Amino acid sequence: MLKNAIVHRSVRCWLAAGAGLLIGSFAFAASAEEVDMAKAKAEGKLVWYTSTAIGQANNLALMFEKQTGIKVELFRSGGSAILRRFMQEASAGKIAADVMTMSDPAAADQLSEKGTFVAFKPKDFDKITETARNKDGYWIAQRLNAITIYMRGDKVPPAERPKKWTDLTDAKYDGKLVMTDPSFTSVQLTTVGVLADKYGWDYYEKLNDGDIMIVQGNQQVADNIKRGERLIAVGALDVYIAADRRNGHDFVSIYPEDGTLLIPSPTGIIKGGPHPNAAKAFAEFMISPEAQKTFPETGEYSARVDMAPPAGNPKVDEIKLMPVDYEKLETQAAEIKEKFNDIFR
């Protein structure tokens, strides 16, 4: 984990420094723009770096190719890993990606300020939740990530289920908890930063005292819970157990009474990417009704205001949301990872 933290700190330093070859020191005003589909189809392909779950990413890529004939070359990994790969390539003077979808609004805002993304307001830009889009069009959320406490319902009876984040420090949960590493997944970086700010690092020290298990990413958390090795996921992406729930597994999700995190996953078009018109076509497709409706179908929240929530999930306006200061998180990202590693190494 320490190695990951050091690498990610270098990414943040790269952002702060401006990264020379690619990044400018000022932003450009966005304006409404139509996609030139003739040029997009002539380019014939685009390269998409994404933290979207692999099944969903493949589905979207195939839908877009079927609709337009434009192929999508996909690189999928965790949000922090996606950002790290892009930064390393850009520092070497290589821009391989056309579109990037990650789960770190704070980093997306800073990249926007540095001129990394193309300002673009596609069709239906105004249908995206206001807090899930950059006002100038530098990024638009692909989806909203619900961070919940979920568990094996058949192993954790109702009377013993936590209601708040703070309940998880109770000794009765010792040896039963698992969570992700914020050095690998951006949504966990946000979660840890917010909870540590609200409850202090003592909260995580207590979780560590209770023998919580740390794994790399959200798929590992879900697999671990399904196997019964641990019973309760602490601040994990709820979508990873949605399909299992539909298939009959007894998973219960708790939207904590002290606040749930609903984190946007920004999509930005990379300035200087090799397929600029195909990238715009794909970005527009990403927020189209046909693409956005696939998210609730797979257990995720759409970024559009006119889409229903996933079946069985509360509506956004029914959830008590925990506020997130993304600007503050961006300045503290390296410190958060370092402190986390100090506690759990």
| pLDDT for the residue numbered 16 | 46
User: Tell me, what amino acid is at 204?
Assistant: Y
Q: Give the pLDDT mean for 314-320.
A: 91
pLDDT of 28 higher than 60:
no
Contact 52, 265 (CB under 8 A): yes
Structure confidence at residue 345 (pLDDT): 85
Q: What is the pLDDT of residue 12?
A: 47
CB 15 within 8 A of CB 107: yes
CATH architecture of structural domain 145-261+329-344: 3-Layer(aba) Sandwich (3.40)
Kindly tell me if the per-residue pLDDT of 7 is higher than 90.
no
Confidence of residue 30 (pLDDT cuts 50, 70, 90): very low
Find the helix or strand (DSSP H, E) in which 64 lies.
Answer: helix 54-68
Instruction: Extract the tokens encoding 241.
Output: 């157990």
Residue-wise pLDDT for 38-53, tens only, equals 999 999 999 999 989 8
Tell whether the model's pLDDT for residue 198 goes beyond 70.
yes
- pLDDT over 70 percentage in the chain: 91
The answer, yes or no, to whether residue 24 has pLDDT greater than 90, is: no
Which pLDDT band, with edges at 50, 70 and 90, does 17 fall under?
Answer: very low
Least confident of 30-44, 88-102, 226-240: 30-44
Contacts of 247 (CB under 8 A, 6+ apart): none
Mean pLDDT throughout 67-89?
Answer: 91
Selection from 22, 39, 37, 29 nearest residue 119 by Cα: 29
Q: Residue 19 — φ and ψ, nearest 5°?
A: 60, 25
Cα separation, 176 vs 149, in Å, equals 12
- Produce one character per residue of 74-109: b if its CB has 16 or more CB atoms within 10 Å, e if not: bbbbbbbbbbbbbbeebbeeebebbbbbbbbbbbbb
Average pLDDT rounded to a whole number, residues 140-151: 95
pLDDT at 3 (0 to 100): 37
Tell me which residue of 72, 79, 81 sits closest to 53, measured CA to CA: 79
User: Which residue would you say has higher pLDDT here, 33 or 166?
Assistant: 166
Q: Binning pLDDT at 50, 70 and 90, where does residue 269 land?
A: very high
* Neighbouring residues of 198: CB distance < 8 A, sequence distance ≥ 6: 322
Report, as an integer, the average pLDDT of 172-178: 98
Domain positions in the chain are 2-21+36-144+264-314, 145-261+329-344
Looking at domain 2-21+36-144+264-314, its CATH architecture is 3-Layer(aba) Sandwich (3.40)
Q: 3-state DSSP call for residue 294?
A: helix
- Helix ranges (DSSP H) in 180-274: 186-199, 202-209, 218-227, 242-246
Residue 4 has pLDDT above 50, yes or no: no
User: For position 243, what pLDDT does the model report?
Assistant: 83
**Intrachain domains 2-21+36-144+264-314 and 145-261+329-344 with the same fold:** yes
In tens, the pLDDT along 108-117 reads 998 999 999 9
The answer on pLDDT for 175 being more than 50 is: yes
Rank 100-109, 207-216, 244-253, 316-325 by mean pLDDT and report only the highest: 207-216
Mean pLDDT score, 284-290: 97
| pLDDT tens-place string over residues 218-262 | 999 999 999 999 999 999 999 889 888 888 899 999 999 999 999
User: In whole numbers, what is the pLDDT of the chain averaged over residues?
Assistant: 89
